[in-house]
Structure 1
Amino acid sequence: MIVEIWSDIACPWCYIGKARFEKGLAGFAHREQVEVIHRSFELDPQRAKGDTASVVDMLASKYGRTLEQARAMEEHVASNARSEGLVYRTEGRDHGSTFDIHRLLHLAKERGLQNELLSRAYEVNFADERSVYDPEVQVAVAVAAGLDEAEVRAVLADGSRYADEVRADEREASELGANGVPFFVFDRRYGVSGGQPVELFTQALEQAWQGREADAATAAAPACEPDGACAVPNG
Protein backbone atom coordinates (compact mmCIF):
# COMPACT_ATOMS: atom_id res chain seq x y z
CA MET A 1 0.00 0.00 0.00
CA ILE A 2 1.25 3.47 -0.86
CA VAL A 3 0.64 6.55 1.28
CA GLU A 4 1.55 9.87 -0.34
CA ILE A 5 1.94 12.94 1.86
CA TRP A 6 1.98 16.44 0.42
CA SER A 7 3.64 18.82 2.88
CA ASP A 8 5.94 21.79 3.37
CA ILE A 9 8.56 22.08 6.09
CA ALA A 10 7.31 25.63 6.77
CA CYS A 11 3.95 24.18 7.84
CA PRO A 12 3.53 23.47 11.57
CA TRP A 13 0.51 21.25 10.97
CA CYS A 14 2.66 19.15 8.61
CA TYR A 15 5.19 18.75 11.43
CA ILE A 16 2.40 17.72 13.80
CA GLY A 17 0.57 15.63 11.21
CA LYS A 18 3.68 13.64 10.36
CA ALA A 19 4.11 12.71 14.03
CA ARG A 20 0.48 11.70 14.37
CA PHE A 21 0.49 9.69 11.13
CA GLU A 22 3.62 7.84 12.20
CA LYS A 23 1.98 6.94 15.51
CA GLY A 24 -1.02 5.59 13.62
CA LEU A 25 1.26 3.68 11.25
CA ALA A 26 3.22 2.19 14.16
CA GLY A 27 0.01 0.58 15.43
CA PHE A 28 -1.07 -0.69 12.01
CA ALA A 29 -0.79 -4.47 11.64
CA HIS A 30 0.45 -4.25 8.03
CA ARG A 31 2.87 -1.35 8.55
CA GLU A 32 5.78 -3.27 7.00
CA GLN A 33 3.86 -3.35 3.72
CA VAL A 34 3.21 0.39 3.60
CA GLU A 35 5.38 2.62 1.42
CA VAL A 36 5.34 6.30 2.37
CA ILE A 37 6.19 8.89 -0.29
CA HIS A 38 6.60 12.55 0.63
CA ARG A 39 5.57 15.00 -2.08
CA SER A 40 6.21 18.71 -2.54
CA PHE A 41 3.86 21.58 -1.77
CA GLU A 42 5.11 25.16 -1.30
CA LEU A 43 3.08 27.36 1.01
CA ASP A 44 4.68 30.49 -0.40
CA PRO A 45 5.77 29.65 -3.97
CA GLN A 46 6.16 33.29 -5.00
CA ARG A 47 8.68 34.11 -2.27
CA ALA A 48 12.16 34.70 -3.63
CA LYS A 49 15.12 32.69 -2.44
CA GLY A 50 16.82 34.54 0.40
CA ASP A 51 13.73 36.61 1.22
CA THR A 52 12.96 35.65 4.81
CA ALA A 53 10.77 37.17 7.48
CA SER A 54 9.93 36.46 11.09
CA VAL A 55 7.12 33.92 11.41
CA VAL A 56 5.44 36.14 14.01
CA ASP A 57 5.64 39.17 11.69
CA MET A 58 4.26 37.09 8.80
CA LEU A 59 1.31 35.87 10.87
CA ALA A 60 0.51 39.37 12.11
CA SER A 61 0.53 40.71 8.56
CA LYS A 62 -1.43 37.82 7.07
CA TYR A 63 -4.21 37.82 9.65
CA GLY A 64 -4.23 41.53 10.48
CA ARG A 65 -3.31 40.80 14.11
CA THR A 66 -1.05 42.50 16.60
CA LEU A 67 2.34 40.95 17.28
CA GLU A 68 1.04 39.81 20.65
CA GLN A 69 -1.92 38.09 19.02
CA ALA A 70 0.40 36.47 16.47
CA ARG A 71 2.56 35.14 19.29
CA ALA A 72 -0.56 33.70 20.93
CA MET A 73 -1.40 31.94 17.65
CA GLU A 74 2.06 30.40 17.63
CA GLU A 75 1.69 29.29 21.24
CA HIS A 76 -1.60 27.60 20.40
CA VAL A 77 -0.03 25.58 17.59
CA ALA A 78 2.99 24.88 19.80
CA SER A 79 0.74 23.33 22.44
CA ASN A 80 -0.53 20.86 19.83
CA ALA A 81 3.04 20.02 18.82
CA ARG A 82 4.18 19.56 22.39
CA SER A 83 1.24 17.25 23.10
CA GLU A 84 2.80 14.92 20.49
CA GLY A 85 6.20 15.10 22.17
CA LEU A 86 7.61 17.55 19.63
CA VAL A 87 9.85 20.52 20.41
CA TYR A 88 8.43 23.79 19.08
CA ARG A 89 10.11 27.20 19.39
CA THR A 90 7.67 30.10 19.15
CA GLU A 91 10.26 32.87 18.95
CA GLY A 92 13.05 33.54 16.50
CA ARG A 93 11.85 31.33 13.66
CA ASP A 94 12.00 32.43 10.02
CA HIS A 95 9.58 32.02 7.12
CA GLY A 96 10.94 31.83 3.58
CA SER A 97 11.12 29.95 0.30
CA THR A 98 11.23 26.16 0.66
CA PHE A 99 11.83 25.40 -3.02
CA ASP A 100 15.47 24.36 -2.55
CA ILE A 101 14.55 22.13 0.37
CA HIS A 102 11.94 20.40 -1.76
CA ARG A 103 14.55 19.86 -4.47
CA LEU A 104 16.85 18.26 -1.90
CA LEU A 105 13.99 16.05 -0.74
CA HIS A 106 13.69 14.68 -4.27
CA LEU A 107 17.41 13.93 -4.26
CA ALA A 108 16.95 12.22 -0.91
CA LYS A 109 14.07 10.19 -2.31
CA GLU A 110 16.37 8.79 -5.00
CA ARG A 111 18.88 7.85 -2.30
CA GLY A 112 16.31 6.25 0.01
CA LEU A 113 16.76 9.03 2.61
CA GLN A 114 13.68 11.16 2.07
CA ASN A 115 12.00 10.55 5.41
CA GLU A 116 15.27 11.09 7.27
CA LEU A 117 15.90 14.43 5.56
CA LEU A 118 12.33 15.60 6.08
CA SER A 119 12.43 14.73 9.78
CA ARG A 120 15.70 16.60 10.26
CA ALA A 121 14.46 19.62 8.30
CA TYR A 122 11.36 19.82 10.49
CA GLU A 123 13.48 19.59 13.62
CA VAL A 124 15.73 22.44 12.50
CA ASN A 125 12.83 24.63 11.44
CA PHE A 126 10.72 24.17 14.55
CA ALA A 127 13.13 23.17 17.31
CA ASP A 128 16.58 24.52 16.40
CA GLU A 129 18.05 28.01 16.65
CA ARG A 130 19.49 27.68 13.15
CA SER A 131 17.51 28.89 10.12
CA VAL A 132 16.62 26.11 7.70
CA TYR A 133 16.56 28.76 4.95
CA ASP A 134 20.32 29.27 5.22
CA PRO A 135 21.96 27.29 2.37
CA GLU A 136 24.80 26.17 4.63
CA VAL A 137 22.30 24.87 7.16
CA GLN A 138 20.53 23.03 4.36
CA VAL A 139 23.82 21.38 3.43
CA ALA A 140 24.49 20.41 7.04
CA VAL A 141 21.00 18.98 7.50
CA ALA A 142 21.20 16.99 4.27
CA VAL A 143 24.62 15.57 5.15
CA ALA A 144 23.38 14.65 8.63
CA ALA A 145 20.54 12.77 6.92
CA GLY A 146 23.11 10.70 5.03
CA LEU A 147 23.45 12.52 1.70
CA ASP A 148 26.78 13.22 0.03
CA GLU A 149 27.93 16.80 0.61
CA ALA A 150 29.31 17.34 -2.88
CA GLU A 151 26.09 16.09 -4.44
CA VAL A 152 23.99 18.29 -2.16
CA ARG A 153 26.04 21.38 -3.03
CA ALA A 154 25.75 20.55 -6.74
CA VAL A 155 21.96 20.40 -6.51
CA LEU A 156 21.74 23.67 -4.59
CA ALA A 157 24.04 25.37 -7.11
CA ASP A 158 21.89 24.31 -10.07
CA GLY A 159 18.34 25.58 -9.59
CA SER A 160 17.04 23.37 -12.40
CA ARG A 161 17.92 20.12 -10.62
CA TYR A 162 14.70 18.43 -9.44
CA ALA A 163 12.72 21.61 -10.19
CA ASP A 164 10.45 19.72 -12.59
CA GLU A 165 9.81 17.06 -9.95
CA VAL A 166 8.76 19.70 -7.41
CA ARG A 167 6.41 21.37 -9.91
CA ALA A 168 4.95 18.01 -10.93
CA ASP A 169 4.09 17.23 -7.30
CA GLU A 170 2.44 20.62 -6.93
CA ARG A 171 0.39 20.20 -10.11
CA GLU A 172 -0.76 16.81 -8.93
CA ALA A 173 -1.81 18.25 -5.57
CA SER A 174 -3.95 20.78 -7.42
CA GLU A 175 -5.49 18.06 -9.59
CA LEU A 176 -6.36 16.08 -6.47
CA GLY A 177 -8.07 19.12 -4.94
CA ALA A 178 -5.48 19.73 -2.23
CA ASN A 179 -5.50 23.44 -1.39
CA GLY A 180 -3.65 23.07 1.89
CA VAL A 181 -1.24 20.78 3.68
CA PRO A 182 -0.63 18.31 5.08
CA PHE A 183 -2.60 16.21 2.61
CA PHE A 184 -2.46 12.42 2.89
CA VAL A 185 -3.58 10.09 0.09
CA PHE A 186 -4.01 6.40 0.88
CA ASP A 187 -3.65 4.16 -2.17
CA ARG A 188 -5.32 6.87 -4.26
CA ARG A 189 -8.56 5.87 -2.50
CA TYR A 190 -8.88 7.98 0.65
CA GLY A 191 -7.76 11.53 1.32
CA VAL A 192 -7.06 12.99 4.74
CA SER A 193 -6.44 16.72 5.05
CA GLY A 194 -4.74 18.36 8.02
CA GLY A 195 -3.18 17.26 11.28
CA GLN A 196 -5.84 14.70 12.20
CA PRO A 197 -5.92 12.63 15.41
CA VAL A 198 -3.91 9.42 15.43
CA GLU A 199 -7.10 7.36 15.45
CA LEU A 200 -8.24 8.79 12.13
CA PHE A 201 -4.97 7.86 10.47
CA THR A 202 -5.35 4.34 11.82
CA GLN A 203 -8.86 4.17 10.40
CA ALA A 204 -7.72 5.45 6.99
CA LEU A 205 -4.95 2.86 6.87
CA GLU A 206 -7.41 0.09 7.72
CA GLN A 207 -9.95 1.23 5.14
CA ALA A 208 -7.36 1.59 2.40
CA TRP A 209 -5.95 -1.85 3.23
CA GLN A 210 -9.38 -3.41 2.98
CA GLY A 211 -9.74 -1.80 -0.44
CA ARG A 212 -13.30 -0.62 0.05
CA GLU A 213 -15.10 0.26 -3.17
CA ALA A 214 -16.07 3.85 -2.45
CA ASP A 215 -15.43 7.33 -3.72
CA ALA A 216 -12.49 9.04 -2.12
CA ALA A 217 -13.54 10.58 1.17
CA THR A 218 -11.78 13.63 2.58
CA ALA A 219 -11.58 14.49 6.26
CA ALA A 220 -10.54 17.99 7.22
CA ALA A 221 -8.52 19.30 10.13
CA PRO A 222 -6.26 22.31 10.76
CA ALA A 223 -3.88 22.77 7.86
CA CYS A 224 -1.62 25.37 6.27
CA GLU A 225 -2.60 27.21 3.13
CA PRO A 226 -0.58 28.96 0.40
CA ASP A 227 1.22 32.18 1.42
CA GLY A 228 2.09 30.61 4.76
CA ALA A 229 -1.30 30.98 6.43
CA CYS A 230 -1.91 28.25 9.01
CA ALA A 231 -5.33 27.70 10.51
CA VAL A 232 -5.55 27.87 14.28
CA PRO A 233 -8.39 25.85 15.84
CA ASN A 234 -10.54 27.29 18.58
CA GLY A 235 -10.28 25.88 22.05
Structure 2
Amino acid sequence: MRVEIWSDIACPWCYIGKARFEQGLAAFPHRDEVEVVHRSFELDPKAAPASGETVVDMLAAKYGRTREEAAAMEENVASNARSEGLGYLTEGRDHGNTFDIHRLLHLAKARGRHSELLDLAYRANFAEERSVYAPGTLVALGVEAGLDEEEVRGVLADPSAYADDVRADEREAARLGAGGVPFFVLDRRYGVSGGQPAELFTQALQQAWETRGATV
Protein backbone atom coordinates (compact mmCIF):
# COMPACT_ATOMS: atom_id res chain seq x y z
CA MET A 1 0.00 0.00 0.00
CA ARG A 2 1.29 3.46 -0.90
CA VAL A 3 0.86 6.68 1.08
CA GLU A 4 1.73 9.93 -0.69
CA ILE A 5 2.34 13.04 1.39
CA TRP A 6 2.28 16.52 -0.12
CA SER A 7 4.07 19.04 2.09
CA ASP A 8 6.20 22.17 2.25
CA ILE A 9 9.25 22.78 4.44
CA ALA A 10 7.79 26.20 5.37
CA CYS A 11 4.61 24.61 6.75
CA PRO A 12 4.67 23.98 10.52
CA TRP A 13 1.68 21.65 10.34
CA CYS A 14 3.56 19.56 7.78
CA TYR A 15 6.41 19.27 10.30
CA ILE A 16 3.95 18.26 13.03
CA GLY A 17 1.83 16.13 10.71
CA LYS A 18 4.84 14.11 9.58
CA ALA A 19 5.63 13.22 13.19
CA ARG A 20 2.02 12.30 13.92
CA PHE A 21 1.70 10.24 10.75
CA GLU A 22 4.86 8.33 11.65
CA GLN A 23 3.43 7.59 15.09
CA GLY A 24 0.20 6.42 13.49
CA LEU A 25 2.10 4.29 11.00
CA ALA A 26 4.17 2.73 13.81
CA ALA A 27 0.93 1.52 15.43
CA PHE A 28 -0.38 0.04 12.16
CA PRO A 29 0.03 -3.77 12.06
CA HIS A 30 0.96 -3.81 8.35
CA ARG A 31 3.40 -0.89 8.53
CA ASP A 32 6.17 -2.89 6.84
CA GLU A 33 3.98 -3.18 3.74
CA VAL A 34 3.40 0.58 3.41
CA GLU A 35 5.45 2.64 0.97
CA VAL A 36 5.64 6.33 1.92
CA VAL A 37 6.29 8.83 -0.87
CA HIS A 38 6.83 12.52 -0.13
CA ARG A 39 5.80 15.04 -2.78
CA SER A 40 6.33 18.78 -3.32
CA PHE A 41 3.91 21.61 -2.61
CA GLU A 42 4.70 25.33 -2.32
CA LEU A 43 2.52 27.29 0.09
CA ASP A 44 3.86 30.60 -1.18
CA PRO A 45 5.35 30.14 -4.67
CA LYS A 46 5.55 33.91 -5.16
CA ALA A 47 7.71 34.49 -2.09
CA ALA A 48 11.15 36.01 -2.62
CA PRO A 49 14.06 33.53 -2.39
CA ALA A 50 15.05 35.01 0.98
CA SER A 51 12.72 37.79 2.06
CA GLY A 52 14.59 38.76 5.22
CA GLU A 53 11.17 38.97 6.88
CA THR A 54 10.54 36.97 10.04
CA VAL A 55 7.72 34.45 10.12
CA VAL A 56 5.91 36.39 12.86
CA ASP A 57 5.97 39.60 10.80
CA MET A 58 4.83 37.69 7.70
CA LEU A 59 1.89 36.18 9.59
CA ALA A 60 0.87 39.56 11.01
CA ALA A 61 0.80 41.09 7.52
CA LYS A 62 -0.86 38.09 5.86
CA TYR A 63 -3.72 37.77 8.35
CA GLY A 64 -4.07 41.42 9.34
CA ARG A 65 -3.07 40.78 12.94
CA THR A 66 -0.90 42.68 15.37
CA ARG A 67 2.57 41.33 15.93
CA GLU A 68 1.51 40.20 19.40
CA GLU A 69 -1.41 38.24 17.95
CA ALA A 70 0.83 36.66 15.32
CA ALA A 71 3.33 35.69 18.03
CA ALA A 72 0.50 34.05 19.99
CA MET A 73 -0.46 32.10 16.85
CA GLU A 74 3.10 30.86 16.59
CA GLU A 75 3.18 29.91 20.27
CA ASN A 76 0.07 27.78 19.76
CA VAL A 77 1.73 25.92 16.90
CA ALA A 78 4.90 25.57 18.99
CA SER A 79 2.89 23.97 21.78
CA ASN A 80 1.55 21.37 19.35
CA ALA A 81 5.05 20.70 18.01
CA ARG A 82 6.56 20.34 21.46
CA SER A 83 3.80 17.94 22.48
CA GLU A 84 5.17 15.64 19.76
CA GLY A 85 8.73 16.01 21.02
CA LEU A 86 9.70 18.43 18.25
CA GLY A 87 11.85 21.50 18.69
CA TYR A 88 10.24 24.79 17.65
CA LEU A 89 11.53 28.36 17.66
CA THR A 90 8.79 30.99 17.77
CA GLU A 91 11.05 33.99 17.19
CA GLY A 92 13.79 34.77 14.69
CA ARG A 93 12.80 32.29 11.97
CA ASP A 94 12.83 33.76 8.48
CA HIS A 95 10.54 33.29 5.51
CA GLY A 96 11.24 32.72 1.82
CA ASN A 97 10.69 30.71 -1.34
CA THR A 98 10.97 26.92 -0.98
CA PHE A 99 11.32 25.94 -4.66
CA ASP A 100 15.08 25.29 -4.38
CA ILE A 101 14.52 23.15 -1.30
CA HIS A 102 12.00 21.04 -3.20
CA ARG A 103 14.38 20.68 -6.14
CA LEU A 104 17.10 19.51 -3.77
CA LEU A 105 14.69 17.04 -2.15
CA HIS A 106 14.07 15.51 -5.58
CA LEU A 107 17.82 15.09 -6.01
CA ALA A 108 17.91 13.42 -2.60
CA LYS A 109 15.04 11.13 -3.66
CA ALA A 110 16.99 10.12 -6.77
CA ARG A 111 20.02 9.31 -4.59
CA GLY A 112 18.10 7.44 -1.89
CA ARG A 113 18.63 10.16 0.76
CA HIS A 114 15.24 11.88 0.73
CA SER A 115 14.19 10.95 4.26
CA GLU A 116 17.50 12.16 5.66
CA LEU A 117 17.34 15.54 3.92
CA LEU A 118 13.67 16.08 4.72
CA ASP A 119 14.23 15.56 8.45
CA LEU A 120 17.31 17.80 8.44
CA ALA A 121 15.49 20.57 6.57
CA TYR A 122 12.51 20.52 8.93
CA ARG A 123 14.78 20.61 11.96
CA ALA A 124 16.89 23.43 10.55
CA ASN A 125 13.84 25.51 9.69
CA PHE A 126 11.81 25.06 12.85
CA ALA A 127 14.14 24.03 15.65
CA GLU A 128 17.54 25.55 14.83
CA GLU A 129 19.01 28.94 14.05
CA ARG A 130 19.61 27.99 10.42
CA SER A 131 17.99 29.61 7.39
CA VAL A 132 16.90 26.99 4.88
CA TYR A 133 16.53 29.79 2.34
CA ALA A 134 20.27 30.47 2.23
CA PRO A 135 22.17 28.50 -0.47
CA GLY A 136 25.03 27.85 1.93
CA THR A 137 22.67 26.21 4.40
CA LEU A 138 21.13 24.08 1.68
CA VAL A 139 24.56 22.88 0.58
CA ALA A 140 25.45 22.02 4.18
CA LEU A 141 22.15 20.18 4.71
CA GLY A 142 22.62 18.23 1.50
CA VAL A 143 26.08 17.11 2.56
CA GLU A 144 24.80 16.19 6.04
CA ALA A 145 22.12 14.08 4.36
CA GLY A 146 24.81 12.16 2.47
CA LEU A 147 24.69 13.89 -0.91
CA ASP A 148 27.74 14.82 -2.96
CA GLU A 149 28.59 18.48 -2.38
CA GLU A 150 29.44 19.25 -5.99
CA GLU A 151 26.22 17.67 -7.20
CA VAL A 152 24.23 19.71 -4.66
CA ARG A 153 25.94 22.91 -5.78
CA GLY A 154 25.30 21.99 -9.41
CA VAL A 155 21.57 21.51 -8.82
CA LEU A 156 21.25 24.78 -6.92
CA ALA A 157 23.15 26.62 -9.67
CA ASP A 158 20.84 25.27 -12.40
CA PRO A 159 17.24 26.54 -11.94
CA SER A 160 15.96 23.89 -14.33
CA ALA A 161 17.38 20.94 -12.40
CA TYR A 162 14.50 18.86 -11.00
CA ALA A 163 12.13 21.79 -11.64
CA ASP A 164 9.87 19.60 -13.77
CA ASP A 165 9.62 17.07 -10.93
CA VAL A 166 8.49 19.74 -8.48
CA ARG A 167 5.93 21.10 -10.95
CA ALA A 168 4.63 17.61 -11.68
CA ASP A 169 4.00 17.02 -7.96
CA GLU A 170 2.19 20.35 -7.70
CA ARG A 171 0.01 19.64 -10.74
CA GLU A 172 -0.92 16.28 -9.30
CA ALA A 173 -1.85 17.90 -5.97
CA ALA A 174 -4.13 20.30 -7.83
CA ARG A 175 -5.68 17.43 -9.79
CA LEU A 176 -6.45 15.62 -6.53
CA GLY A 177 -8.02 18.74 -5.04
CA ALA A 178 -5.35 19.61 -2.48
CA GLY A 179 -5.73 23.27 -1.57
CA GLY A 180 -3.27 23.12 1.28
CA VAL A 181 -0.84 20.88 3.10
CA PRO A 182 -0.10 18.51 4.65
CA PHE A 183 -2.19 16.35 2.36
CA PHE A 184 -2.05 12.57 2.70
CA VAL A 185 -3.33 10.24 -0.01
CA LEU A 186 -3.72 6.58 0.88
CA ASP A 187 -3.61 4.18 -2.06
CA ARG A 188 -5.09 6.91 -4.30
CA ARG A 189 -8.46 6.21 -2.67
CA TYR A 190 -8.56 8.08 0.65
CA GLY A 191 -7.37 11.56 1.57
CA VAL A 192 -6.47 13.03 4.95
CA SER A 193 -5.80 16.75 5.33
CA GLY A 194 -3.87 18.50 8.09
CA GLY A 195 -1.75 17.46 11.04
CA GLN A 196 -4.31 15.06 12.45
CA PRO A 197 -3.82 13.00 15.65
CA ALA A 198 -1.74 9.84 15.29
CA GLU A 199 -4.75 7.69 16.11
CA LEU A 200 -6.66 9.05 13.13
CA PHE A 201 -3.80 8.13 10.81
CA THR A 202 -3.79 4.59 12.19
CA GLN A 203 -7.53 4.33 11.60
CA ALA A 204 -7.21 5.68 8.06
CA LEU A 205 -4.44 3.23 7.26
CA GLN A 206 -6.53 0.35 8.62
CA GLN A 207 -9.54 1.42 6.57
CA ALA A 208 -7.48 1.71 3.40
CA TRP A 209 -5.92 -1.68 4.06
CA GLU A 210 -9.25 -3.42 4.67
CA THR A 211 -10.85 -1.98 1.54
CA ARG A 212 -8.03 -2.68 -0.90
CA GLY A 213 -9.48 -3.82 -4.19
CA ALA A 214 -12.87 -2.33 -3.36
CA THR A 215 -14.37 0.60 -5.24
CA VAL A 216 -14.47 3.74 -3.12
TM-score range, shorter chain: over 0.9
1:62 aligns with 2:62: yes
Query: CA-atom RMSD, angstroms?
Result: 1.0
Unaligned ranges ≥5, structure 2: none
Whole-angstrom CA distance in 1 between matches of 2:154 and 2:94: 25
Aligned residue in 2 for 1:116: 116
Deviation at 1:115, TM superposition (A): 1.3
CA contact (8 A) 1:52 1:97 kept: no
Aligned residue in 1 for 2:103: 103
- Alignment length (residue pairs): 215
The aligned runs of 1:137-156 (5 Å cut-off) are 137-156=137-156
Deviation at 1:45, TM superposition (A): 0.5
Quote the sequence identity (%): 74
Deviation at 1:214, TM superposition (A): 4.9
TM-score scaled to structure 2, two decimals? 0.97
1:82 aligns with 2:82: yes
Task: Classify the secondary structure of the residue corresponding to 1:130.
Answer: coil
Cα deviation 1:136-186 (Å, max 9, x = unaligned): 001111111111111110000000000001011001100100000000001
Whole-angstrom CA distance in 1 between matches of 2:12 and 2:84: 12
Whole-angstrom CA distance in 1 between matches of 2:52 and 2:201: 34
Whole-angstrom CA distance in 1 between matches of 2:182 and 2:215: 22
Whole-angstrom CA distance in 2 between matches of 1:143 and 1:28: 33
Task: Give the direction of change, closer, same or farther, for the CA distance of 1:164–1:52 in structure 2 (3 Å limit).
Answer: farther
Cα deviation 1:17-65 (Å, max 9, x = unaligned): 0000000111111111111111000011012323342100000001111
Moved over 6 A (4+): none
Aligned residue in 1 for 2:14: 14
Aligned residue in 2 for 1:229: none
Unaligned ranges ≥5, structure 1: 216-235
2:158 counterpart letter in structure 1: D
